């Protein structure tokens, strides 16, 4: 990859920069600075970067609800991160009884509340695994 600032500036000026998919004048789905996602897709490296940014955002959102998030066990934190990642902040906030149970460290109740939702029906096994992680704070017992 070139670090040529002049080339980067010229390409950005000619192509534009978009955070969202758009159709370029040639009729191809494009993103970023002229990246033809339709023909070129995304590299594994870019997919991992996007995933890490999304995980970081999910953790930030969780911290806005649970200021003591990092005092929880890793498996429980991962379960909540997975759920936040899937739902997004507004939908996650709607799990008021689950959030209240977590704040009181009533993990069995939190798991039950997570499963008592349309979300759990929609995601099936994912919800079951998350509930088990909430109950046990252990990956070995969740598998």
Burial zone of 39 (CB within 10 Å; 0-12 exposed, 13-18 middle, 19+ buried): exposed
Residue 142 lies in a domain: no
pLDDT tens-digit series, residues 85-105: 999 999 999 999 999 999 999
Q: How many residues does the chain have?
A: 143
pLDDT tens-digit series, residues 9-58: 999 999 999 999 999 999 999 999 999 999 999 999 999 999 999 999 99
Residue 132 lies in a domain: yes
Same domain for 60 and 96?
A: yes
Q: How far is CA 18 from its chain centroid? A: 21
Same domain for 67 and 95?
A: yes
**Boundaries of domain holding 9:** 5-40
Residue 23 lies in a domain: yes
CATH of the domain at 75: 1.10.530.40
pTM: 0.88
List alpha helices for the chain, DSSP H.
5-15, 37-40, 44-65, 74-87, 89-93, 96-103, 107-115, 118-123, 125-136, 139-142
Rounded CA-CA distance 34/93 in Å is: 36
Residue 143 lies in a domain: no
Question: Which 8-state DSSP code applies to residue 101?
Answer: H
Cβ atoms of 108 and 46 within 8 Å: the answer is no
Same domain for 13 and 82?
A: no
Q: What percent of the chain has pLDDT over 70?
A: 96
């Amino acid at each position: 990859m070139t670090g040529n600032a002049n080339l980067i500036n010229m390409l950005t000026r000619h192509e534009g920069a978009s955070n969202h998919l758009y159709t370029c004048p040639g009729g191809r789905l494009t993103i970023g600075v002229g990246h033809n996602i339709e023909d070129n897709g995304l590299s594994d490296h870019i997919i991992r970067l996007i995933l890490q940014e999304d995980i970081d955002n999910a953790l930030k959102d969780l911290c806005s609800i649970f200021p003591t998030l990092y005092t929880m066990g890793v498996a429980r934190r991962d379960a909540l991160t997975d759920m936040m990642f899937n739902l997004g902040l507004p939908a996650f906030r709607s799990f008021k009884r689950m959030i209240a149970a977590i704040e009181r460290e009533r993990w069995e109740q939190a798991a039950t509340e997570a499963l008592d939702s349309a979300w759990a029906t929609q995601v099936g096994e994912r919800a079951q695994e998350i509930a088990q992680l909430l109950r046990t704070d252990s990956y070995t017992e969740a598998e």
